[in-house]
Amino acid sequence: MVHDAMLESGHEQVTHFVDEETGLRAIVAIHDTTLGPALGGTRLLPYETEADALRDVMRLSRAMTYKAAAADLELGGGKAVIVDDPDEKTEAKFRAYGRMVDRLGGHYITSVDVNTGVAEMDVVAEGTDHVVGTSDGLGDPSPVTARGIFSGIRASVETVYGTDDFDDRTVVVQGVGKVGQNLVGLLREAGATVKVSDVDEAAVESVVAEYGVESVAPEDVYDEPCDVFAPCAVGGVINDETIPRLDCDVVAGGANNVLAERRHAADLHERGILYAPDYVINAGGLITVAKEHEGGTMADAMAEAEAIGDRLLDLIGRAEDHETTVLDAAERYARERIGGADEARVASPQ
């Protein structure tokens, strides 16, 4: 069953780890290492079943391959999940996990993700050098991620309205966590009218007070008229139920897997809504840890995030040339990079 799923998705390796002493249960999925070692965070969630955990890690690792390739990084795609209750995580488990990552010999490099942060990566680093996102690293990637999303929104606005001026533009930001809050600040600085929405009322109140923006009830956010809808919370929010409710010209946000299904990119296109692929414009976090891995600086990461808008404009142009969606163009570009690198590797003598 796992082998069939790997063949279908193109995965190179899926490794299940257990540690009897600590109770650690983890899965590492390496999707593709053509461009370089697989880099991706470790997510800790109390999955109901092992099948759920496997499905998630395989889906996420494949997305990381495309994110890295589309961002012109010399990295492959990987991801890991730890099946656990966040309230029961211990240093011993992460120490054991670090030893397990080390057994992969550098084919997989791990970092922070849902319910894992700098503190956990510091413990992982006790067992392996194949980790980024530690306290010795570049720091919180949220500002870099937000900068890339803002650059992507600006490119989308320029495409749709013929100018990247935000003075007459309204942006609805769904989700005001670290990335969302940074994005609101950048949009307000650029002159945009911003409305925010989140299930966390305290977070909404804080952002409203700090930036002087309006709020929208979570149940009404898809109906709110705007120029740009920026989903920065959970994935799957663009779906059969929400698409008919959207009153915008652009969907561009930082949440991973914004589309419930791939076909929804075509649905948006048919409605005249420009969709900026999330893995293209939210690559700032990956860029940050990639720079850390290379020995670069936060300034280097920020500069590459700023360039995401130009990359998106190129993909939009490719989509127009081929009369297809921007998502199709992004995937084609990523496959070209991976295929080109693979051909060069085969052709080059070792």
Q: Is 70 exceeded by the pLDDT of residue 110?
A: yes
Is the model's pTM score more than 0.75? yes
Mean pLDDT to the nearest integer, 88-97: 97
Residues 105 and 153 in one domain: no
pLDDT of residue 92: 98
The string of pLDDT tens digits covering residues 174-230 is: 999 999 999 999 999 999 999 999 999 999 999 999 999 999 999 999 999 999 999
Residues 120 and 147 in one domain: no
Do 22 and 93 contact (CB within 8 A), yes or no?
yes
Residues 24 and 92 in one domain: yes
Closest CA to 109 of 33, 9, 18: 33
The reply to whether 47 falls in a domain is yes
The reply to whether 299 falls in a domain is no
Arithmetic mean of pLDDT over the chain? 94
Residues 117 and 159 in one domain: no
Residues 111 and 163 in one domain: no
pLDDT of residue 55: 93
Tell me whether strands 38-45 and 108-111 are parallel, antiparallel or unpaired. Answer: parallel
Catalytic residue among 67, 79, 89, 93: 79
Q: Is 60 exceeded by the pLDDT of residue 74?
A: yes
Mean pLDDT to the nearest integer, 242-259: 96
Q: Is 60 exceeded by the pLDDT of residue 46?
A: yes
pLDDT confidence bin for 341, thresholds 50/70/90:
low
The reply to whether 110 falls in a domain is yes
Residues 11 and 106 in one domain: yes
> How far is it, in rounded angstroms, from Cα 21 to Cα 151?
47
Mean pLDDT to the nearest integer, 229-243: 95
pLDDT of residue 213: 97
The reply to whether 229 falls in a domain is yes
The reply to whether 130 falls in a domain is no
Residues 239 and 329 in one domain: yes
pLDDT of residue 348: 34
Residues 163 and 206 in one domain: yes
Q: Is 70 exceeded by the pLDDT of residue 267?
A: yes
Q: Is 60 exceeded by the pLDDT of residue 26?
A: yes
The reply to whether 231 falls in a domain is yes
- What is the span of the domain harbouring residue 52? 2-63+75-124
Structure tokens at 101: 């990552």
The string of pLDDT tens digits covering residues 292-307 is: 999 999 999 999 999 9
For the domain that residue 12 is a member of, what is the CATH number?
3.40.50.10860
How many structural domains compose the chain? 2
Mean pLDDT to the nearest integer, 139-161: 96
Residues 115 and 214 in one domain: no
The reply to whether 279 falls in a domain is yes
Q: How many CB atoms lie within 10 A of CB 105?
A: 10
Q: Is 50 exceeded by the pLDDT of residue 274?
A: yes
Q: Is 90 exceeded by the pLDDT of residue 5?
A: no
DSSP character string of 252-293: --SSTT-BSSTTHHHHHHHTT-EE--HHHHTTHHHHHHHHHH
pLDDT of residue 234: 86
Residues 83 and 180 in one domain: no
pLDDT confidence bin for 342, thresholds 50/70/90:
low
Residues 17 and 87 in one domain: yes
pLDDT confidence bin for 246, thresholds 50/70/90:
very high
Comparison of pLDDT for 322 and 347, the residue scoring more: 322
For residue 79, indicate whether it is catalytic: yes
Q: Is 60 exceeded by the pLDDT of residue 343?
A: no
pLDDT of residue 349: 31
The reply to whether 348 falls in a domain is no
Do 171 and 248 contact (CB within 8 A), yes or no?
no
Mean pLDDT to the nearest integer, 68-74: 95
Cα R_g (the chain), whole angstroms: 20
Residues 169 and 42 in one domain: no
Do 166 and 184 contact (CB within 8 A), yes or no?
no
For the domain that residue 158 is a member of, what is the CATH number?
3.40.50.720
pLDDT confidence bin for 344, thresholds 50/70/90:
very low
Mean pLDDT to the nearest integer, 12-24: 97
Q: Is 70 exceeded by the pLDDT of residue 345?
A: no
